Amino acid sequence: MLGVAAVLALGCGDPELPKPPAGGSESLVCSEVTPGPSPLRPLTRDEYDRTIEDLLGDVSAPAQGFPPENEVLGFRNNAAANLANPLLVEGYMNAAEALAVSATSERLELVAPCPSGDQTACGRSFVRDLGTRAYRRPITEAEATSLDALFDAFLPISYVQAVQVTLTALLQSPQFLYRIDSWRAPTEQTGALLASRLSYLLTGSMPDAELFAAAAEGRLATAEEIELQARRLIETPRARDVMRSFHEQWLGLSLLDGVARIAEDVPAPAEGMADPVLVQSWRESFRRFVDHAVWNEGTVSALLTSPMMFVDQKLAPLYGESAPSEDFLGVERPDRRAGLLTQPALLALLAHSDQSAPVLRGVFVRERIMCIEIIPPPPTVNAVPPPVDPSATTRERFAQHTADPVCAGCHQLIDGLGFGFERYDQFGRYRTEENGLPVDESGEVVGTEDLELDGPYNGAIELANRLATSSRVRDCLATSFYRFAMGRTETDADQCSLDQVKQRFSDSHGAFNELLVAVTLSDAFRYRAAEGP
């Protein structure tokens, strides 16, 4: 176990022992600061592009051509899973070369101004100013001197060439490409590390000028000051991008690409099984819903129960809504929709091509929403969905799971959750009948070890309302967000920090901005474990 002596505060000044957050008399105080590991991690593609935009004013988003991140638990920023590979390193090189060319040809005044005309001196300033911003902490003199040598070697060709070549090197340096927390020695730079953590968590990009200044002036030393910065950053538009991204990763929405759903009454796309237009609309509709729940309503309860659904011209007729003239329109359907789990994108994702998927939906609610792990079926089970039968409902066909005692043990935990969504077909369209037979949407929550959750219910809307008040569900969301924030799964050392986050989230009755602030105030965020010499 790590002692306090082996823990470093990321704010400037003396390591401050954790204090209870202001106004929270019952808040959890950890007896010992154990922040858990903080391995380096590469910028994700989105972080890379946003950082480039902030650093160079270049919006070409070159990282979208990099190979995709390896996902762990749905998250694309997992430190352990994302190491360099040849294609990625070549992508870094090609991007750096192209960015340096466009920066020097289009924005030289912004990147490396030289009003004095003393090109060597301007080169020194460029390396130190841009280097510090690119590395998100003061560039060391050794690092800068090494880049100066590169600059000087190309200066005889031209100032532009020297800047371009040096910028190409900066953009391939690990100090730029990775988020690095594991410095061996505590230095005055540690305030910059906290600034970087704050900005990547809350804006998905490098610190802005105010945050850099706060770090440099030692203004990130107390919880109050960190909270002030966090609340400021939460108000920026980038925070919306981050929360969209979190929800998409948490819920596995990346799998929506290539999803194809078919039904007799829906015209099939002309080519292939997937309809990319529909997928795009589903995804955007989902993002709009997340924006609405997180920022307009602001609570986990709204996320799980809001009757809003967003439709465009493509989606509206499919879901029985009148089409908006342009863009997306939010419609309230309290009779049909209750929150996240009834969103078309998610219901279509959790379906088979030609029928709903009660098992996938049940597993999803249990694992992703309740954080209860399910033991996979034994390898001998050939779990192919039963063929569509026009004379029966999906539920009747899937009922074998619970009729067969071999399957029933696990499937009673799953199917009682999945059957509640039977009023939504493979497109997520609301239905009261299937094949002319009435749809039975009754279900039962079983074996959650949570008395608030267990018990029979009727339909997804009732289930959603029950989930919305559950502490298990709220804690699950907090845990998922914690994994996203830390870029790793939690360890034993994270227990107290995670409890701090859960409690703050709970005290705020599930307010999202309090969840974000809570993470920034947790020990795991403010401190790092120091490696011995």
Partner 1 sequence: MSMRKLGRRQLLRALGGAGIGLPLLSSLGSGGARAQAVAAPKRLILMYTPNGVIHEGWWPTPGAADTEFTLNQIHQSLAPYQDRLILLKGVNNLVASTGLTGGPHQRGIGGLYTAQTLGQGTFVDGCGKTAGWANGISVDQEIAAVIGQSTALKSLELGVRALENDVQGRISYSGAGQPLPPMNQPLDVYNRLIMAPGFSVAPSDPLLAQRKSVLDAVGRQFDMLAAEVSTEDREKLESHHELLRDIERRMSAGTNGCTVVDQPPLLDPASETDMPLIAELEVDLLAMALACDLTRVASLQISTSLNRIRYPWVNSMGEGHALSHSFGSDADAAAQLVERGKWHCGLIARLCDRLSTIAEGDGSALDNTLLVYCSEISLGNSHSHTDMPFLLVGGGWHFRTGRYLELGGVSHSNLLVSLMNAMGLPAQTFGLPEHCTGPMVGLV
Antiparallel, parallel or unpaired: β 527-529 and 7-9: antiparallel
Q: Which of 142, 209, 403, 451 binds partner 1 (CB under 8 A)?
A: 142
272: contact with partner 1 by CB under 8 A: yes
Q: Phi, psi (5° rounding) for residue 438?
A: -65, 145
Window 357-376: residues binding partner 1 (CB under 8 A):
357, 359-360, 363, 367, 376
Q: Which is nearer to partner 1, 85 or 120 (CB)?
A: 85
Question: Look-up: residue for tokens 């699950």?
Answer: 476
DSSP assignment of 164-199: HHHHHHHTTSHHHHEE----SS--TTHHHHHHHHHH
Q: Does 147 bind partner 1 (CB under 8 A)?
A: yes
Residue from 57, 68, 113, 447 in contact with partner 1 (CB under 8 A): 68
Is residue 110 a contact residue for partner 1 (CB under 8 A)?
no
Whichever of 298 and 386 has its CB closer to partner 1, that residue is: 386
Comparison of 276 and 455: residue with beta carbon closer to partner 1: 276
Q: Of these, 153, 213, 277, 406, which contacts partner 1 (CB under 8 A)?
A: 153
Does 61 contact partner 1 by CB under 8 A? Answer: no
Say how far apart CA 186 and CA 7 lie, in whole Å: 10
Which tokens sit at 443?
Answer: 């279900």
For residue 186, state whether it binds partner 1 (rule: CB under 8 A).
Answer: no
> By rule CB under 8 A, what count of residues binds partner 1?
70
Spatial distance between the Cα atoms of 408 and 392, rounded to a whole number of angstroms: 21
> Nearest approach, Cβ of 302 to partner 1 (angstroms)?
26
Among 110, 268, 273, 406, binds partner 1 (CB under 8 A): 273
| Position among 383, 388, 406, 437 found at the interface with partner 1 (CB under 8 A) | 383
Q: Give the nearest distance from C-beta 495 to partner 1 in angstroms.
A: 21
Reduced to 3 states (helix: H, G, I; strand: E, B; else coil), residue 8 is strand
Instruction: Judge contact between 203 and 238, C-beta under 8 A.
Output: yes
- 365: which residues sit within 8 A by CB, 6+ positions away? 341, 417, 418, 463, 467
Amino acid code (one letter) for 512:
F
Residues linked to residue 529 through DSSP beta bridges, in sequence order: 7
Per CB under 8 A, 165 contacts partner 1: yes
Q: For tokens 């070890």, name the residue.
A: 449
Residue 140 makes contact with partner 1 by CB under 8 A = yes
| Interaction of residue 263 with partner 1, rule CB under 8 A | no
What residues have CB less than 8 Å from 51, skipping those under 6 apart?
43, 205, 206
Choose which of 218, 276, 455, 456 interacts with partner 1 (CB under 8 A).
276
Residues 6+ apart with CB under 8 A from 211: 195, 198, 199, 229, 233
3-class secondary-structure state, position 43: coil
Site for partner 1, residues 485 to 524, rule: CB under 8 A: none
* Stretch in the footprint of partner 1 (CB under 8 A) among 108-116, 166-174, 212-220, 497-505: 166-174
Give the integer Cα–Cα distance in Å for 228 and 212: 14
What lies within 8 Å, CB to CB, of 283 at 6+ separation is 248, 253, 256, 345
Instruction: Decide: is 22 part of the binding site for partner 1 (CB under 8 A).
Output: no
268: contact with partner 1 by CB under 8 A? no
Site residues for partner 1 per CB under 8 A: 39-40, 65, 67-74, 80-81, 83-87, 89-90, 93, 140, 142-143, 146-147, 149-150, 153-154, 165-166, 168-169, 172-175, 178, 180, 182-185, 252, 254-255, 257-258, 260, 271-274, 276, 352-353, 357, 359-360, 363, 367, 376-377, 379, 382-385, 531
